[in-house]
Amino acid sequence: MSEVTLHEAKEIIAQEIENLARRNKEPEWMTRIRYKGLEAFEKAPHNDPVISKDELLRFIAKPEIEGFPEHIESLDDLPPEMKALLDRLGISEVEQKYIAGLAVQTDTGIIYNQFLQEWAKKGLIVLPMEEAVKKYPDVMKRHFLQMFSPNESKLAAYHTAVWNGGIFLYVKEGLKVPFPLHLFFLIQESALAQAPHIIIIAEPNTEFHLIEGCTAPVLVKHSLHLDMTEAYIRDGARVQLTVLQNWPEYVHTRPMTRARIGKNARFINTTVGLGTGRSNIANPKYWVEENGYVELNGIILGQKDWYVDLGGEMYLQGREAAGINASKAVIMDESTVITRGKIVAEAPRTKGHISCDALVMSDKAVMETYPGLVSRVDDAELSHEAAIGKIHEEELFYLMSRGLSEEKATQLIVKGFLEPMLKDIPMEFLIEIRKIIEMAVSGGM
Amino acid sequence: MSEVTLHEAKEIIAQEIENLARRNKEPEWMTRIRYKGLEAFEKAPHNDPVISKDELLRFIAKPEIEGFPEHIESLDDLPPEMKALLDRLGISEVEQKYIAGLAVQTDTGIIYNQFLQEWAKKGLIVLPMEEAVKKYPDVMKRHFLQMFSPNESKLAAYHTAVWNGGIFLYVKEGLKVPFPLHLFFLIQESALAQAPHIIIIAEPNTEFHLIEGCTAPVLVKHSLHLDMTEAYIRDGARVQLTVLQNWPEYVHTRPMTRARIGKNARFINTTVGLGTGRSNIANPKYWVEENGYVELNGIILGQKDWYVDLGGEMYLQGREAAGINASKAVIMDESTVITRGKIVAEAPRTKGHISCDALVMSDKAVMETYPGLVSRVDDAELSHEAAIGKIHEEELFYLMSRGLSEEKATQLIVKGFLEPMLKDIPMEFLIEIRKIIEMAVSGGM
């Protein structure tokens, strides 16, 4: 394919912007933000090791969602192909009552958010981003694109121009949500740019757990999930964000997540990558205030030729702020997994720790780890540790001597290796996660 | 100062080359290598964070050594100012018998190498590089600039063009040298480019320890030590290279060290950085064959505004090759210390470990660490660990409760922190190193 000229690129993006603006009937101030993304696209740096600048423009934010209902009342109303898809994330195992708080984005639009009406009165708002822009323009103007600049990369510029879907999640001061909130991203189309924008405002002393599940039918070819999440975790709030990815082979993921964690607040951000996507590159950033705490957990099962590069930068800006970046990876087949946490201590008595453990299961698999620690004060405590290795033969032989087949013994060791990282995953997902791990180790995906 | 044009740069370097070639009466093939450096200078990348491209050319490889003898028989024959300089490295403490194997490079030329005549017969050759080029042209052509290319950086290109001094150290198969060999680098001039080229050939099953000491009078302003070391450690050889740096405030150091470590061979490379130089940036590389072992140790005492950035790449290419990269840093004042080891496992059953410990003593000091581990096989064992912190107050209070002043207690803790890394340093240097650490911690440098 010949190179896309600058003029052509601008034409492509402008057309997408016009289509989305028309579909969303969005206010002009938002369309102006999109055009800032278009302008930034030209000069913004692009150093993605997998997706070239031209290839990026082949992922289109198609505004149509055909054949799907706009709103549904329960999972039973979903079309059968979507229900089958949710199987890949373990949803079929789940009783309906567990997934009361559910929104589903298929391709570029949120189709299901008619839930939690009684919780809205208590101060829990979950709205598709397109609706939030119209309903709460002042809040959105103060929080949309405050932690990112479209100039920082072509990916950020492209997201800004063509963002679609995503949610606005607002939790009123002091409100504690006792059940997990679910948000599912499904890609049904090939050559799609699914670019949800998510804004989370956790007012002081709130508590909740948002679980995102991502998948697509195995027939989807070369689509891109390019989300951007801005999380405002105010003083004393305790928030968990768990992302389960089970993309098929050809899907690229470029999640962009940033969070400001207030005084005495806690934010636990966990990613479980189980799929055989084409590539996943992420570098979330967190700014942590006095006595705040952030935890970034990564659990990666690298299969086929999945290319995974997970960063994670933590800026401990307030006294006694703390951060932990922990990852465990099992790397099989021809997969490449790279982890690069970084913790910067900028205030007194801050603490940070990075750990990375990896099991390399194939001589064509590649594991790389590059943690970074930066201390700019004289009384921070920063540490890291890592271990890359293989399954110890003695352990395998021991289990086999107890009557297990090599396959079962290997499954057991791999599950035992990953298990400690899954402590915060709700039970209904754990069942499916364990099943996926077993199948992967048996070469059965 | 205005920008140096490309034409001017080439003129400056060509003049230096002509002066050195004339002084050395060197063979034409060597001068041609220098001109390859000059040609490479134009296009070679330059990303030194401290020395700009223009500034680099203000460090001149002045060929004159005025007022110094060409050869001396013993340390007593050295001019008093040089003897005083050696004090900074602890030499005045040393009995002459301990420094039998001694060569001294002041500025751009080796002035003392009339030693070890009887060992020459056994197969130990130590020659100034300029003489080796004339005496062993075939050996030099096969080993000079084989591990580097002048195209890889402006620093490598400039070194290639203006290299001066350094030694050729050859140890014949099976020879074990029972005493350490000493090589001293002294800078007497300001605005100097001291660019020694060192070739070490350790034939199979040899054993020896080369100690390099580096210093300059505190009056020296803005000089550059730009050495290049190529070490061929053949099968079964056991070699130690220890570098003691005690540069004054304005000296930049850019040591470039590379080594090939043969089957069953061992290479231990230790750097002790005690000075208050302006900057020290190094990224040694090691290629290790079957069952070979490499160890890179860094002991850094960061004072004043010294900027230290120590890399270290190890490529474990043979089965069961192993590498260790360990550093300990004490960072005071406004000093910045960065460590970035990298170990790449390219063969089965290889092992690697990176560790970095740092004590940050000042809130204007900066410590950064970026270890990297890469596994390209399924049965390597790689690990790293790091800890950045301050002196534990309990430890300090305990020692003070036993009657020590805060200063003495701090000295004791800092020495205890660094001590385990000094295990391979000969006693005569240890005395001086401990004294320097004590003075530094007392703010008395």
Q: pLDDT digits over A3-41, tens only?
A: 678 888 899 999 999 999 998 999 999 999 999 999 999
User: Does A100 share its domain with A219?
Assistant: yes
Least confident of A86-90, B40-44, B67-71, B310-314: B67-71
The percent of residues above 90 in pLDDT, for chain B, comes to 62
CA distance A147 to A229: 9
- Residue B137: per-residue pLDDT: 97
Number of domains, chain A: 2
Given a cut of 80, is residue B92 above it in pLDDT?
A: no
- B306 within a domain of the structure (yes/no): no
Contacts of residue B373 in chain A, CB cutoff 8 Å?
367-370, 386, 388
Residue B383, SS3 per DSSP: strand
Task: Give me the amino acid identity at B6.
Answer: L
- Residue B435: per-residue pLDDT: 84
User: Does B382 share its domain with B405?
Assistant: no
User: Does B330 share its domain with B419?
Assistant: no
Given a cut of 60, is residue A99 above it in pLDDT?
A: no
Residue to substitute from A350, A385, A388, A396, interface B, most B β-carbons within 10 A: A388
- A366 within a domain of the structure (yes/no): no
Q: How confident is the model at residue A197 (pLDDT cuts 50, 70, 90)?
A: very high
User: Does A399 share its domain with A276?
Assistant: no
- Residue A203: per-residue pLDDT: 98
- B141 within a domain of the structure (yes/no): yes
The percent of residues above 70 in pLDDT, for chain A, comes to 89
User: Does B28 share its domain with B174?
Assistant: yes
- For residue A360, the distance in angstroms to the closest alpha carbon of chain B comes to 5
Q: How confident is the model at residue B28 (pLDDT cuts 50, 70, 90)?
A: very high
Least confident of A113-122, A288-297, B340-349: A113-122
User: Does B152 share its domain with B226?
Assistant: yes
Q: pLDDT digits over A147-165, tens only?
A: 999 999 999 999 999 999 8
- A386 within a domain of the structure (yes/no): no
Given a cut of 70, is residue A2 above it in pLDDT?
A: no
Contacts of residue B387 in chain A, CB cutoff 8 Å?
381-383
Q: How confident is the model at residue B70 (pLDDT cuts 50, 70, 90)?
A: low
Closest by CA position to A395, among listed A385, A384, A404: A404
- A75 or B305, which is more confident? B305
User: Does B386 share its domain with B402?
Assistant: no
- Residue A72: per-residue pLDDT: 65
Q: How confident is the model at residue A179 (pLDDT cuts 50, 70, 90)?
A: confident
- Residue B444: per-residue pLDDT: 44
User: Does B258 share its domain with B187?
Assistant: yes
Q: How confident is the model at residue A114 (pLDDT cuts 50, 70, 90)?
A: low
- A376 within a domain of the structure (yes/no): no
- The rounded mean pLDDT for chain B is 88
- A257 or A85, which is more confident? A257
User: Does A176 share its domain with A46?
Assistant: yes
- B116 within a domain of the structure (yes/no): yes
- A373 or B127, which is more confident? A373
User: Does B377 share its domain with B396?
Assistant: no
Of B230, B260, B282, the residue that ends a domain is B282
Q: How confident is the model at residue A75 (pLDDT cuts 50, 70, 90)?
A: low
- Residue A97: per-residue pLDDT: 42
Given a cut of 60, is residue A101 above it in pLDDT?
A: no
Q: pLDDT digits over B193-206, tens only?
A: 999 999 999 999 99
Q: pLDDT digits over A129-140, tens only?
A: 999 999 999 999
Q: What is the ipTM score, two decimals?
A: 0.82
- Residue B106: per-residue pLDDT: 72
Domain holding B402, by residue range, is 392-445
* Mean predicted confidence (pLDDT) in B162-173: 94
Q: How confident is the model at residue A98 (pLDDT cuts 50, 70, 90)?
A: very low
Closest by CA position to B196, among listed B137, B114, B110, B127: B110
Does the distance separating the beta carbons of B367 and A374 come in below 8 Å?
yes
Of A282, A303, A318, the residue that ends a domain is A282
Nearest to B378 among A362, A378, A382 (CB): A362
Given a cut of 90, is residue A336 above it in pLDDT?
A: yes
Q: pLDDT digits over B345-392, tens only?
A: 999 999 999 999 999 999 999 999 999 999 999 899 999 999 999 988
- A343 within a domain of the structure (yes/no): no
User: Does B125 share its domain with B256?
Assistant: yes
- B305 within a domain of the structure (yes/no): no
Closest by CA position to B239, among listed B181, B320, B161, B282: B181
Chain A residues at the B interface, defined by Cβ less than 8 Å, are: 345, 348, 358, 360-363, 365-390
User: Does B278 share its domain with B419?
Assistant: no
Nearest to B378 among A363, A378, A382 (CB): A363
Does the distance separating the beta carbons of B388 and A375 come in below 8 Å?
yes
Q: pLDDT digits over B216-238, tens only?
A: 888 788 899 999 999 999 999 99
Does the distance separating the beta carbons of A382 and B386 come in below 8 Å?
yes
Does the distance separating the beta carbons of A362 and B375 come in below 8 Å?
no
Least confident of A73-87, A221-235, A381-395, B312-326: A73-87
